[in-house]
Structure 1
Amino acid sequence: MKGKTILMIAGLFGALAVGLGAFGAHGLADILQKTGRTETYQTAVSYHFYHSLALFLLGILALVKPEWKSLNFVAWSFILGILIFSGSLYILSLSGITWLGAITPLGGVGFIMGWLGLFYAALRHDQILTK
């Protein structure tokens, strides 16, 4: 995946995080409060936004260092993490389908794999970092 593509996805995901956060705070506040899922929804928005920002910075890094092919793994890990972790929490918060909580950790694993992938990419290219 090219840096430009990562930046475009980061832009879409960032806009979606802001939109879902605002909608949750205003349009869904009563529903989330009634079901006791306000905190769960906020967790989904927070991780969604953090990793949208991480994707943005990753896209910039991919533009600067296009030879770092392992950044593709990082991007996909963050994308899947957002979709699975935040997505399952959004749906859980609004639907009450509690078994979705069982797949949420898989998204967390995606986030962790992405951060470890970034560590690996930097380690693998440490000669480039010093030049």
Structure 2
Amino acid sequence: MTKWMLLAGSLCCASAILIGAFGAHALKPILTEQGKGWLDTGVFYQMSHGLALLACGLLPTKTQSIAASFFIAGILLFSGSLYCMAITGNTQLGIITPIGGVCFLVGWGLFCLSVWRMPASRYLP
């Protein structure tokens, strides 16, 4: 197991819960309907990719480590830009969001490649 991936995944999942709760309660009076949607989407993708980081930590290979780095970049760029747009209403930040989406896709491609190359003895009882 790779400790940094497990720690990063755990922190991403925990902070996704905090951001979602903060948005649903403290930010409720100031968020527009569209802003609430952006926040919810950011939380969903952050949680999903936090879980992906945990999976990377359980099946560590060099490729998984690179995939984990792309997942983290995706969370920062994709979810981070959505959070900023939700709070500020500045839609110009939306230009960053697809870059984060590409990072997610590259991460998943590397994850698949790593699992494909992995000997069965690594994941079968």
Paired residues for 1:18-33 under 5 Å: 18-33=17-32
- Give, as a single letter, the amino acid of the residue that structure 2 aligns with 1:51: H
* Structure 1 residues 61-85: Cα deviation after superposition (integer angstroms, max 9, x where no partner): 12xxxxx211111100100000000
| Structure 2 unmatched ranges of 5 or more | none
Residue number in structure 2 paired with 1:65: none
| Structure 1 unmatched ranges of 5 or more | 63-67
Residue number in structure 2 paired with 1:84: 77
- Give, as a single letter, the amino acid of the residue that structure 2 aligns with 1:16: S
Residue number in structure 1 paired with 2:66: 73
Determine what percentage of the aligned residue pairs are the same residue: 41
1:39 alignment partner, one of 34, 37, 40: 37
The TM-score with structure 2 as length reference comes to 0.91
- CA separation in 2, counterparts of 1:51 and 1:20? 15
Q: Secondary structure at the match of 2:62?
A: coil
2:102 alignment partner, one of 106, 109, 113: 109
- CA separation in 1, counterparts of 2:91 and 2:37? 15
- CA separation in 2, counterparts of 1:36 and 1:17? 19
Partners of 2:66 and 2:110 within 8 A in 1:
yes
Q: Which runs of 4+ in 1 moved over 4 A?
A: none
Q: Secondary structure at the match of 1:31?
A: coil
- CA separation in 2, counterparts of 1:29 and 1:61? 39
The TM-score with structure 1 as length reference comes to 0.87
Q: CA RMSD in A?
A: 1.5
Residue number in structure 1 paired with 2:52: 54
Shift of the alpha carbon at 1:124? 2.6
- Give, as a single letter, the amino acid of the residue that structure 2 aligns with 1:27: A
Alignment size in residue pairs: 122
